[in-house]
């Protein structure tokens, strides 16, 4: 939230909702990894998180490539509301990314039915709570002087993913090491 405050705008009013969303996303990622990883490891955990980060980057890039802008950043900021119309327009693409990511992860991890459902659920939760603003990037005109916002969005994603992955790694590394040597 502090990084968002410095780079984009104040969202402290949303702190309670963001804490709940962060806890839910984190619980989904960690719980799903525990279900699908044959032998949990630090490298495996980092790869697992990188797949989801790649999903968000691909979603944003695809949105920019596929959609034509229908509004501006300034217009969105003036409304001070979620871009519901834009989210609705991007929903088919967002759903396609959810399915594609769940299928890719299922192919990589070859989980049980419970694991496949967990992968699908985690993907949907992450996209609903973190990805909807990314899915609409192509529907928003980014003026030449505002292109830094795309970099800031990417930077926020990388920062969020890195902090979460490292914190979980710090807590879980010892138990993963014991599990791998057992």
Q: Which of 135, 147, 161 is nearest to 61 (CA)?
A: 135
Assess contact for 138 and 65: CB atoms under 8 A. Answer: yes
Kindly state whether residue 169 falls inside one of the protein's structural domains: yes
Kindly state whether residue 97 falls inside one of the protein's structural domains: yes
Confidence class of residue 180 from pLDDT cuts 50, 70 and 90? low
Tell me the H-state helices in 67-131: 73-79, 84-109, 113-126
Q: Which domain holds residue 158?
A: 2-8+24-181
Kindly state whether residue 14 falls inside one of the protein's structural domains: no
Kindly state whether residue 94 falls inside one of the protein's structural domains: yes
Kindly state whether residue 13 falls inside one of the protein's structural domains: no
Kindly state whether residue 120 falls inside one of the protein's structural domains: yes
Kindly state whether residue 18 falls inside one of the protein's structural domains: no
Kindly state whether residue 75 falls inside one of the protein's structural domains: yes
pLDDT of residue 171: 82
Q: Specify the number of domains making up the chain.
A: 1
pLDDT single digits (tens) 109-160: 998 999 999 999 999 999 999 999 999 999 999 887 777 778 888 888 888 8
């Amino acid at each position: 939230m502090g990084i968002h405050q410095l780079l984009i705008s104040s969202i402290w009013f949303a702190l309670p909702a963001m804490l709940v969303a962060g806890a839910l996303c984190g619980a989904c990622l960690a719980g799903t990894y525990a279900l699908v990883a044959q032998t949990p490891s630090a490298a495996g955990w980092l790869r697992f998180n990188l797949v989801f980060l790649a999903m968000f980057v691909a979603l944003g890039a695809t949105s920019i490539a596929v959609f034509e802008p229908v509004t501006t950043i300034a217009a969105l900021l003036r409304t001070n509301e979620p871009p519901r119309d834009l989210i609705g327009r991007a929903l088919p693409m967002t759903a396609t990314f959810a399915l594609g990511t769940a299928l890719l992860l299922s192919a990589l991890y070859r989980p049980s039915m419970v694991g496949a459902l967990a992968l699908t659920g985690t993907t949907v939760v992450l996209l609903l709570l973190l990805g909807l603003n990314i899915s609409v990037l192509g529907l928003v005109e980014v003026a030449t002087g505002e292109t830094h916002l795309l970099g800031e969005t990417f930077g926020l994603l990388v920062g969020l993913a890195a902090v979460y992955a490292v914190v979980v790694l710090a807590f879980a590394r010892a138990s993963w090491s014991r599990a791998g040597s057992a």
